[in-house]
Structure 1
């Protein structure tokens, strides 16, 4: 039995249940025992069942976009880029997150098994192996957008030049004359975090001073407090994203440290709020909308059966604003003069 010809009737016969029971499983409805549900779902995966809608002229009707969570402008910028490309092609999109835990993830997979999607974009850590494996039985194209971990060569990826961006940020600070340059790193299990850390260290030619962060404001604030309280506080801090850079701003404000007169700060992402920070934030711009648009275009090409680039890295650019300046000798931190 081939996956292109399998029907609900076939699945029902193999499972020894009725067609309405298979339908209830597909729709995630109650009234089916756990044992029966597991058996039916196993057969659906095994035979690649997809209850596809009739294909309209042009072929592609709907794509799904999945994020681990949607809580900041990083996701919003990607979504805007995806939406623009999909809309221009006359394709609808559904955006989902995995914040509801295993139950929400399973409900999402059940909906996808209904076949009402022509492809899936997995963003950030939603592209982890578990989700990719679950989608493999659906026989739909998948594209990974800014994946948190390495993905197989069979899944096209759209990412950015994290290493080069971090390198340019650190070199900018060095060219201004800074030598005590600290970094607040991102989440250690995210591939892009390691690439940014590697870029920072490559520019310095050594390990540098690194504080752990997790891409959230509070971690940037806490790390900056530790750095500024040290015996030799840095004259510059490179934060692995803009939210942590804004945490550095707040830590500096509370410590009575002026940005950039006493402390230069660089972020990463160039989210919309970076230019409105006080002072406007020097940061590495990721082309987030363009990345989303490229991921959508790649997915649509896959769904049409076209060949695509398997791995795309889009360029970052350093945007110099007012949060960086040459270091001043003998500046004071917390009331104590340190040269």
Structure 2
């Protein structure tokens, strides 16, 4: 079997023995899903037998950290699935950490990362400050951000989704059904994705020459208690002011939409008979909710998988040509939206 002049086994040599192209070997190395299981196993067995080492590889323990704010949300579970599949396909182990926001938890995670000599990190956190980024750099640990909270310095790879376009599609769907009084349950103000979704909502309303009254955009958290609280506040304000209720709600997350479901049921209002509801994310339970939730599908697993594959390239000393990638969102229409009542 041929080797590099320095004595190392090459991708070309692996490909020749496996009877595949060098590109296929590269796909196996990067955890790509478009390789058959039999081919993947054959290539991996040859690499193991020949003690193949990737050019420029800086892997120490074959461990990558996946860091999230929380581990128990439906959103986080989809991210975990995507990253784990990509890393497992590349023969890399994954360590999960929850930072629970900023502060001591984040510092503890950084200490643990240094102690276990992780090869890199996929970061899905709401706060990553300059001190933390500097420490990661000083440790020689490459990292990729998923859905970052704010403006990211040039050269830091980030994977996101088309939040603005998704919000426009959701709002235009409601407008197309005939809704004119539409409210938006927005996410935290400091998050880029929240601002993009709120901006998309406003852009669609402005494009249809529809007013967004004061209080029609309510910022909260991406969870069901917040969706319940903000929907309740929205209904209370309409009742106090004597204004008519909105005929539709666009929630910035599916969990907020589920909180809205509960608040509306508590007031004797039916979805979509009285008020239509649209969510964002398309977590698996949306299709089984009652009614099934119209939502904007965010490719969470694909985002995490791409982040993991990008990280593997960084670990191996490769250049990343597109540091900022946005994957497309898609409107999924189900049973929670309908034309407004004629008397609404």
Counterpart check, 1:82 vs 2:89? no
Is the contact between residue 127 and residue 144 of structure 1 (CA under 8 Å) also seen in structure 2? no
119-128 or 251-260, which moves further after superposition?
Answer: 119-128
**Partner Cα separation in structure 2 for residue 260 and residue 107 of structure 1:** 46
Given that residues 179 and 340 in structure 2 are in contact (C-alpha distance below 8 angstroms), is that contact kept between their aligned partners in structure 1? Answer: yes
Kindly tell me: are residues 162 and 253 of structure 1, through their superposed partners in 2, closer, same or farther at Cα, counting changes over 3 Å?
same
In structure 1, distance between residues paired with 2:141 and 2:66: 13
For 2:342, the equivalent position in structure 1 comes to: 329
Q: Distance in 2 between matches of 1:171 and 1:108?
A: 42
SS at match of 1:258: coil
Partner of 1:310: 323
Against the structure 1 CA distance between its residues 224 and 235, is the aligned structure 2 distance closer, same or farther, given a 3 Å change threshold?
A: same
* 1:125 aligned counterpart, secondary structure: coil
Q: 1:129 to 1:269 in 2, by over 3 A?
A: farther
Matched, 1:219 2:226: yes
The structure-2 alpha-carbon separation of the partners of 1:197 and 1:298, relative to structure 1 and needing over 3 Å to count, comes to: same
CA 102–186 in structure 1, closer or farther in 2 if over 3 Å, else same: closer
Gaps of 5+ in 2: 1-50
Other structure's SS at 2:255 match = helix
Instruction: Find the aligned partners of 1:183 and 1:128 in 2 and give their Cα distance.
Output: 29
Answering whether residue 309 of structure 2 is matched by residue 297 of structure 1, we say: yes
Residues 5-20 of structure 1: matches in 2 within 5 Å?
none
Q: 2:290 aligns with which of 255, 278, 286?
A: 278
Say if 1:67 and 1:126, in contact at 8 Å, map to a contact too: no
Give the deviation of 1:232 after TM superposition: 1.3
1:153-232 mapped onto 2 (5 Å cutoff): 153-205=154-206, 208=212, 209-229=216-236, 230=238, 231-232=243-244
1:57 equivalenced with 2:53 (yes/no): yes
- Whole-Å separation in 2 of the counterparts to 1:129 and 1:315: 29
Are the aligned partners of 1:170 and 1:238 in contact in 2 as well (CA < 8 Å)? yes
Unaligned runs of 5+ in 1: 1-54, 331-338
Aligned to 2:300: 288
Is this contact kept in 2: 1:201–1:207, CA < 8 A? no
Question: What is the rounded CA distance, in whole Å, between the counterparts of 1:192 and 1:299 in structure 2?
Answer: 22
Q: TM-score, normalised by structure 1?
A: 0.78
Q: CA RMSD in A?
A: 1.8
| Residues 166-219 of structure 1: CA deviation (Å, up to 9, x unaligned) | 000000000000000110110111111000000000000066221222112111
Count of aligned positions? 277
